[in-house]
């Protein structure tokens, strides 16, 4: 598969470092059915054209939790706090941002493109019952995040620059994360539903189990990638 010049050649995927790599080695014995590398797919696929979201629209704010210990793994899994999407998805997100600005809100992005190796790590450290409930993607099939065609995000208030409250926090493993969850306050549900409506206008669809996770139309036309952020220009 051909990549555009923005992706550097001769890379060696390693988004973890020695400590997290050890987790993968230890889990290999009990996860023999999971491939050691990204699954092979027949294609054909579109050329990857990953772009950095905030460079298209500085009004989009980032809170990349996976570059910190403030995530469900309890450790950083990204070396850089950056967010990328395939260009059509990124451009659609900019249109969402501009529409929401007229309503007093901005977009707060938690995650975009995710290297396959990180998806493998999530799978390895997640208990089986939570895997069965679909809280993490199976690396044997890959994730839409791995294709650069999925984004995790919420809203912030333009007036205060503060993240708004939703029916659940980001990355919680509970029924409250369902995009149709009827609990929480009316204001929380209203903001959640506003985000969904604005995203759907621009070709995104919400994940059935995560109000913050949106997949861009045509995601299947992009390949599963395992490129570290530092190798993307």
Residue 34 DSSP symbol:
S
Kindly list the structural domains of the chain, giving each domain's residue range(s) and its CATH number in brackets, ordered by start: 49-231 (3.30.1380.10)
What is the SS3 assignment for 33? coil
Give mean pLDDT, residues 35-49: 90
Instruction: Report CA-CA distances (Å) from 215 to 76, 79, 150, 226.
Output: 24, 24, 4, 18
Q: Structure pTM? A: 0.84
pLDDT digits (tens, 9 = 90+) for 46-98: 999 999 999 999 999 999 999 999 998 899 999 999 999 999 999 999 999 99
pLDDT in tens, 162-209: 999 999 999 998 999 999 999 999 999 999 999 999 999 999 999 999
> What pairs with residue 105 in β-bridges?
157
Residue 32 pLDDT exceeds 50: no
Active site residues: 210
17/90: higher pLDDT: 90
Burial letters for 99-130: b for 16+ Cβ neighbours within 10 Å, e otherwise?
ebeeeebbbbbbbbbbbbbbbbbbbbbbeeee
Of 18-22, 35-39, 45-49, give the range with the top mean pLDDT. Answer: 45-49
Mean local confidence (pLDDT), 25-53:
77
């Amino acid at each position: 598969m051909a990549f555009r010049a923005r992706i550097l050649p001769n890379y060696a995927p390693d988004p973890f470092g020695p400590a997290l790599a050890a987790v993968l080695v230890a889990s290999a014995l009990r996860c023999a059915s999971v491939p050691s590398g990204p699954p092979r797919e027949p294609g054909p696929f579109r050329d990857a054209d990953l772009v950095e979201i905030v460079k298209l629209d500085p009004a989009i704010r980032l809170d990349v939790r996976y570059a910190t210990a403030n995530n469900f793994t309890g450790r950083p899994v990204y070396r850089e706090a950056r967010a990328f999407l395939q260009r059509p998805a990124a451009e659609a997100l900019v249109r969402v941002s501009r529409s929401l600005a007229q309503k007093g809100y901005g977009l707060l992005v938690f995650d975009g493109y995710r290297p396959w190796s990180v998806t493998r790590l999530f799978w390895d450290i997640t208990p089986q019952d939570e895997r069965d409930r679909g809280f993490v993607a199976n690396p044997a099939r890959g994730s839409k995040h791995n294709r650069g065609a999925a984004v995790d995000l919420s809203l912030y208030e333009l007036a205060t620059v503060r993240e708004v409250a939703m029916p659940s926090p980001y990355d919680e493993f509970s029924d409250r994360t369902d995009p149709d969850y009827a609990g929480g306050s009316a204001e929380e549900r209203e903001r959640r539903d506003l985000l969904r409506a604005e995203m759907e206008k621009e070709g995104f669809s919400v994940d059935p189990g995560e109000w913050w996770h949106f997949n861009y139309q045509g995601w299947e036309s992009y390949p599963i990638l395992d490129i570290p952020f530092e190798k993307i220009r």
